[in-house]
Structure 1
Amino acid sequence: MDSLESFDIISNEEVEEIKTALEEGDLCKATEKLSQSLKDIENAPLNIAVTGESGSGKSTFVNAIRGLDDDEEEGAAKTGVTETTMEPKAYPHPQCNNVTLWDLPGIGSPTFKPNDYLETVEFDRYDFFIIISSDRFRHNDMELAKAIQSMGKKFYFVRSKVDSDLTASQKRRKMSYNEENILNEIRNNCSTCLQEGGIQNQKVFLLSCLELNKYDFNQMQETLGQELPSHKRHVFMLCLPNISLPVLEKKREALKKQIWKWASLSCAVATVPLPGLSVACDVGILVREMRKYRDAFGLDQKSLEKLANRVDKDVAELKSVIKSPIVVKEINKELVTTLLTRGAAGSLMFIEYLASNIPVVGTMAAGGISFATTYLMLYWFLKDIAEDAVRVLEKSLDSPV
């Protein structure tokens, strides 16, 4: 097992708040703080606005981020060579119900007025904006960015369709073609354009929505992950499509940091002297979280079928590399109850170490077994399913990631 210290398990502030409540004998307050913290993270809404000129690839970007491979798939944003978005259109994420991508109307009109546009699309509802261009960033893009900035919101520039630029360059520069040089040319051109428009030190992410795992997608998700508030960051990481090893690792980290809270909640409930309450809580927590882990890593049946169809493989071939026996089973109360029975004995050896290293567990000693059992089961299941997700991704590409 990894060192507990590397988990970023619990902040000092949260430790002190919960520990104080427990030392005062206020179990209800301690449980309430844990429950509220988890609720804030799980239910945090994330609204992402996608805008740009007509034909820049806004709708395709919305579909790609939501993990849709086909623009004709049910629930996909409508795409086309002409402007297809006449008013803000909400597209909920298929797996993360509290994440919504908004396909905003194009901004290419000669009479475009940024402030009027932001008022029309209800500026305040969005957490941040992504401004997309399929060639150079134009006057309207920059004016919109300035207006967004003046209102205190974040915005990011995405240069789309770079795969088309590379293909065209390869045909025109058969002797001197160099992908890295072309990408640098595109990036430098965008940066120069933005600087001339009065926007300084702004990163530009080069993307192809048809090949989202290439170019700057990982850098973009890394930047957004760093700059979003912590509860929004967690939600954002879980909604990303499983297209690369860095994405899978970020998801594992995001989920791992929450395990101690679920285990502590189980521990707090265990100290309440009501027969059967702790077991019911443990089962409910484990079923919910294990299902969430499976879905977040795209190892549910529907996601595996979509991946198999995308890479032209049989779903059984992808499943063949899944080693965890739990992943391919139906995760329900009966399965988890059986696992709990087996796990409780092993948890006894873990309690003393936890109590000496994590203050909350030491204070809540009466619920130590419950904490240890829930913690260990979630930790090991997350580890196994994350490793399975890597193997499935490698199998889909027929090469190590």
Structure 2
Amino acid sequence: MESCVFPKEIAINMEKALGGGNLLEVVSVVRGTLKKASNAPVSIAVTGDSGNGMSSFINALRGIGHEEEDSAPTGVVRTTQIPTRYFSPHFPNVVLWDLPGTGAAIQSLENYMEEMKFSQYDLFIIIASEQFSMNLAKLAKIIQGLGKRFYVVWTKLDRDLSTSALLEERLLKNIWENIRETLQNEGVCEPNIFLVSSLEPLLHDFPKLRGTLHRDISDIRYHGPLESLSHIYEKAIKDKVTTCRGKIASKSFDTLGIWNADDLEESLMAYRSLFGVDDESLQQMAQSMGKPMEEYRAIMKSRDLYSVLREDWPLSCMNCNTVSCLYSFLRCIPLLGDFIFNSLRKWKHRRLLEIVAKDTRAILKKILTQSII
């Protein structure tokens, strides 16, 4: 996933759509991009100390028995000698990598990390049983340093429950606290911790593990594209604001679709139209998204001039009757009056522009979130 290259044509199409204030085209680009992302491959590495039951866990996660033909080999001795990949219909386009366990044959965890090519995996599952060793805590610290997601999964819980004299609730709490404290001693932020039995994949934390894994796989797939699309619309909006500010500075209001620059209501509608967040464009976009238009209007400050003035006190102050009378007085003063009046008018337009741009960002963010398949 880290090596995915965001297609240049998508960026061009997105910028073009935003530049023209065409939200319908933006929705089309976003949906097409995220649809492709939904099928992107994800690599998950299952690792841990030798003998902790990584292969058994993979079989349980895949929902198959040890005796089936394509199951991961299991045994009391180290059975996995090289990274081996497995697939599961429960996790489409996901590769589960069964890594050789860390052990005496590996000189150091750093060498293990390089040999196993940790950088190629999107998520790690650290398997533990009997005890959560310092070796595993250090392994977790290495993975955390790479900025990767990881879980700690305690397997063979069935054996622990059958041999311990403690009540189940106390035993589970002791195991969980031991893992957490060992990780904290190594400076590792607390990850997701699951206590499971590979022989009983319907009990204990196994269902919770599956659900969390599905959500994280989705996040991994969409994180890169969503981040790229966010950068694109941020840049496009920033460029558009810069262009509009230049026209405001040169008093070229007619090129912005504004004929009476002192009419804030007309100006607000013109800016909304320029950015494609006017009511007509919002209605079309909302229909395309299958959502009510009010869902998008509700997050906007620029719904109408009344809403803007109610929520933006600096602009409201500049538009009150007292200040309006002051404007009229200032215009009577040669040169200085015109300068002050024009400066204040430009300030009000820049303020309106920023409010509409901020609303546009909020709507685009909502479109991205709602477009995740």
Structure 1 gaps, min length 5:
1-16, 235-354, 366-401
Q: Matches of 1:27 and 1:90 in 2, distance apart? A: 42
Alignment of 1:244-323 (within 5 A): none
Letter in 2 for 1:107: T
1:87 matched to 2:82? The reply is yes
Pick 1 or 2: higher relative contact order, CA cutoff 8 A, min separation 6: 2
Residue 32 of structure 1: CA displacement?
A: 5.2
Q: CA deviation at 1:201?
A: 3.1
Q: Which residue of 1 aligns with 2:34?
A: 37
What is the aligned partner in structure 1 of residue 61 from structure 2?
65
**Take 2:32 and 2:189, find their aligned partners in 1: how far apart are those partners?**
42
Q: What is the DSSP-based 3-state SS (H/G/I as helix, E as strand, rest coil) of the residue aligned with 1:49?
A: strand
Cα 1:87–1:358, aligned 2, differ >3 Å: closer, same or farther?
A: farther
Instruction: Name which of 149, 157, 161 aligns with 2:144.
Output: 149
| Deviation of the 1:121 alpha carbon | 1.2
Deviation larger for 26-35 or 215-224: 26-35
Candidates 66, 69, 75, aligned match of 1:74: 69
2:94 counterpart (91, 99, 114): 99
Corresponding residue SS for 1:230: helix
Take 1:143 and 1:96, find their aligned partners in 2: how far apart are those partners? 29
Deviation at 1:94, TM superposition (A): 3.3
Distance in 1 of aligned mates of 2:94 and 2:110? 25
Task: Report the counterpart of residue 52 of structure 2 in structure 1.
Answer: 56
Q: TM-score, normalised by structure 2?
A: 0.51
**Aligned 1:5-24 pairs, distance under 5 A:** none
Q: Runs (4+) of structure 1 moved beyond 6 Å?
A: 23-30, 355-358
Q: Letter of the 1:210 partner, please give it.
A: L
Report the CA distance shift for 1:180/1:25 in structure 2 as closer, same or farther (over 3 A): closer
Instruction: Confirm or deny: 8 A CA contact 1:108 1:140 kept in the other structure.
Output: no
CA positional deviation for 1:187: 1.6
Q: Give the alignment of 1:98-117 within 5 angstroms.
A: 98-109=93-104, 111-117=106-112
2:161/2:168 contact within 8 Å kept:
yes
1:64-106: CA deviation from partner (whole Å, max 9, x where unpaired)? 11121x1121211111111111111011223544111000001
The runs of 5 or more residues in structure 2 that have no matched partner are 1-13, 224-279, 291-373
Compared CA separation, residues 152 and 231, structure 1 to 2 (3 A): closer
Cα deviation digits, residues 6-63 of structure 1 (max 9, x gap): xxxxxxxxxxx69958x8789888655533321211x211111000111111001111
Are the structure 2 counterparts of residues 67 and 30 from structure 1 closer, same or farther at C-alpha, using a change threshold of 3 Å?
Answer: same
Matched, 1:360 2:357: no
- 1:215 corresponding residue in structure 2: 204
Is 1:181 the counterpart of 2:170 in the alignment?
A: yes
**Would you say how many aligned residue pairs link Structure 1 and Structure 2?**
221
Contact 1:356 1:362 in 2 (8 A): no
Identify the range of structure 1 (221-230 vs 104-113) with the bigger mean alpha-carbon deviation: 221-230
Q: Under a length normalisation based on structure 1, what TM-score does the superposition of the two structures give?
A: 0.48
Contact 2:157 2:196 in 1 (8 A): yes
How many angstroms does 1:178 deviate by?
Answer: 2.1
Secondary structure of residue in 1 paired with 2:96? strand
User: Percent identity over the alignment?
Assistant: 40
Alignment of 1:117-156 (within 5 A): 117-156=112-151
Contact 1:18 / 1:30 at 8 angstroms: preserved in 2?
A: no
**Cα distance, 1:190 vs. partner?**
2.4
User: Is 2:194 the counterpart of 1:205?
Assistant: yes
CA RMSD of aligned residues (A): 3.6
Larger radius of gyration: 2
Q: CA 1:179–1:364 in 2, change beyond 3 Å: closer, same or farther?
A: closer
Change (3 A) 1:89 1:363: closer
